[in-house]
Chain A
Amino acid sequence: MTSANNWQGARKLINVQRAIRRGPLYVAEHRLRNMSKWIVSMIGFGIGNPVMFLLSVGIGVGALVDGNLGPNGVDGVGYLTFLAPALLATAAIQGAMDETMFPTLAGFVWGKDFFAINATQISGRSIAIGVVLAAGVRCSLSVLLYELILALFGAVSLASLPALTLSSILAGMAFGAVMLMGASFVKQDDGIFAVVNRFVITPMFMFSGTYYPLAVLPIYLQWIGWISPMWHATEIGRNLSYGHQVEPWLLWIHYAYLGLMLVVGVLIASWQFTRRLAK
Chain B
Amino acid sequence: MMIVAKNLTKKYGDFVAVDGIDFQVKRGESFGLLGPNGAGKSTTMRMIAATSQRTSGDLEILGLDPNKKGPEIRAHLGVVPQTDNPDTELKVWENLYIYGRYFGLGRKFLKAKIEELLDFAQLQEKRNAKVNDLSGGMKRRLTIARGLVNEPEILMLDEPTTGLDPQARHILWDRLFRLKEQGVTLVITTHYMDEAEQLCDRLVVMDKGKIMAEGSPAELIKKYSSKEVLEVRFGSTKNAEVAPQIEKLGDRVENLPDRILIYSEDGEAVLKQIHNLGLEPQTSLVRRSSLEDVFLRLTGRQLIE
* C-alpha spacing A15/B76, complex, angstroms: 11
Query: Which A17-71 residues sit within 8 Å CB-CB of chain B?
Result: 18-20, 22-23, 26, 29-30, 33-34, 37
The answer to whether A34 and B104 touch (CB under 8 A), given A119-B74, A278-B52, is: no
Cβ of A202 within 8 Å of any chain B Cβ, yes or no, is no
* C-alpha spacing A116/B88, complex, angstroms: 12
* C-alpha spacing A277/B179, complex, angstroms: 29
Cβ of B51 within 8 Å of any chain A Cβ, yes or no, is yes
In angstroms, how far is the closest chain B Cβ from the Cβ of A117? Answer: 6
* C-alpha spacing A78/B119, complex, angstroms: 64
Known: A1-B178, A111-B87. 7 other contacts (CB 8 A): A9-B151, A13-B150, A15-B104, A20-B75, A37-B90, A118-B74, A121-B74
Residue from B76, B104, B119 with most neighbouring chain A CB atoms (10 Å):
B104
In angstroms, how far is the closest chain A Cβ from the Cβ of B172? Answer: 14
Partner-contacting stretch, out of B18-26, B78-86, B251-259, B291-299 = B78-86
Which residues of chain A are within 8 angstroms of B85 by Cβ–Cβ distance?
A: 111-113, 115-116
In angstroms, how far is the closest chain A Cβ from the Cβ of B185? Answer: 11
* C-alpha spacing A23/B117, complex, angstroms: 23
Contact A1 B120 (CB under 8 A): yes
Interface size bracket, B side: 35 or more
* C-alpha spacing A9/B101, complex, angstroms: 16
Which residues of chain A are within 8 angstroms of B173 by Cβ–Cβ distance?
A: none
Query: Which A124-138 residues sit within 8 Å CB-CB of chain B?
Result: none
Contact A278 B51 (CB under 8 A): yes
In angstroms, how far is the closest chain A Cβ from the Cβ of B269? Answer: 47
Query: Which B84-119 residues sit within 8 Å CB-CB of chain A?
Result: 85-90, 94, 98-99, 101-105, 109, 116-117, 119
Cβ of A279 within 8 Å of any chain B Cβ, yes or no, is yes
Which residues of chain A are within 8 angstroms of B88 by Cβ–Cβ distance?
A: 111
Q: Which residue of B lies closest to A27 (CB)?
A: B102
Contact A3 B116 (CB under 8 A): yes
Query: Which B43-79 residues sit within 8 Å CB-CB of chain A?
Result: 49, 51-53, 70-72, 74-77, 79
* C-alpha spacing A119/B98, complex, angstroms: 13
Cβ of A184 within 8 Å of any chain B Cβ, yes or no, is no
Contact with A along B109-144 (1 / 0, CB 8 A): 100000011011000000000000000000000000
The answer to whether A119 and B51 touch (CB under 8 A), given A3-B116, A13-B105, A15-B104, is: yes
Interface size of A by CB at 8 A reads: 40
Contact B102 A9 (CB under 8 A): no
Contact A14 B71 (CB under 8 A): no
Could you list 9 examples of A-B contacts with CB < 8 Å? A10-B75, A15-B104, A18-B104, A19-B102, A30-B98, A34-B87, A112-B85, A118-B74, A120-B75
Residue from A19, A111, A123, A278 with most neighbouring chain B CB atoms (10 Å):
A19
Which B residues fall within an 8 A CB radius of A? 49, 51-53, 70-72, 74-77, 79, 81, 83, 85-90, 94, 98-99, 101-105, 109, 116-117, 119-120, 146, 148, 150-153, 178-179, 181-182
Contact B120 A7 (CB under 8 A): no
Contact A14 B102 (CB under 8 A): no
Which residues of chain B are within 8 angstroms of A112 by Cβ–Cβ distance?
A: 83, 85
Contact with B along A187-218 (1 / 0, CB 8 A): 00000000000000000000000000000000
The answer to whether A30 and B101 touch (CB under 8 A), given A4-B182, A279-B52, is: yes
How many A-B contacts are there with CB distance less than 8 Å? Answer: 119
Q: Which 6 A-B pairs have the closest CB atoms?
A: A19-B104, A121-B71, A121-B75, A119-B79, A10-B76, A120-B102
Contact A29 B101 (CB under 8 A): yes
* C-alpha spacing A6/B148, complex, angstroms: 13
* C-alpha spacing A7/B72, complex, angstroms: 20
Which residues of chain B are within 8 angstroms of A111 by Cβ–Cβ distance?
A: 85, 87-88
Q: Which residue of A lies closest to B51 (CB)?
A: A118
* C-alpha spacing A7/B151, complex, angstroms: 7
Q: Which residue of A lies closest to B150 (CB)?
A: A10
In angstroms, how far is the closest chain A Cβ from the Cβ of B156? Answer: 9
In angstroms, how far is the closest chain B Cβ from the Cβ of A144? Answer: 24
Q: Which residue of B lies closest to A9 (CB)?
A: B151
Contact A33 B52 (CB under 8 A): no
Which residues of chain A are within 8 angstroms of B105 by Cβ–Cβ distance?
A: 13-14
In angstroms, how far is the closest chain A Cβ from the Cβ of B51? Answer: 6
* C-alpha spacing A226/B182, complex, angstroms: 63
* C-alpha spacing A206/B49, complex, angstroms: 48
In angstroms, how far is the closest chain B Cβ from the Cβ of A122? Answer: 6
The answer to whether A121 and B90 touch (CB under 8 A), given A2-B116, A6-B116, A13-B150, is: no
In angstroms, how far is the closest chain B Cβ from the Cβ of A87? Answer: 30
Which residues of chain A are within 8 angstroms of B79 by Cβ–Cβ distance?
A: 119
Contact B71 A26 (CB under 8 A): no
Which residues of chain B are within 8 angstroms of A151 by Cβ–Cβ distance?
A: none
Q: Which of B104, B151, B178 contacts A26 (CB 8 A)?
A: B104
Which residues of chain A are within 8 angstroms of B51 by Cβ–Cβ distance?
A: 115, 118-119, 277-278
Contact A34 B89 (CB under 8 A): yes
* C-alpha spacing A10/B102, complex, angstroms: 13
Contact A19 B151 (CB under 8 A): no
Which residues of chain B are within 8 angstroms of A113 by Cβ–Cβ distance?
A: 85, 87
Q: Which residue of A lies closest to B80 (CB)?
A: A119
Residue from B88, B89, B120 with most neighbouring chain A CB atoms (10 Å):
B89
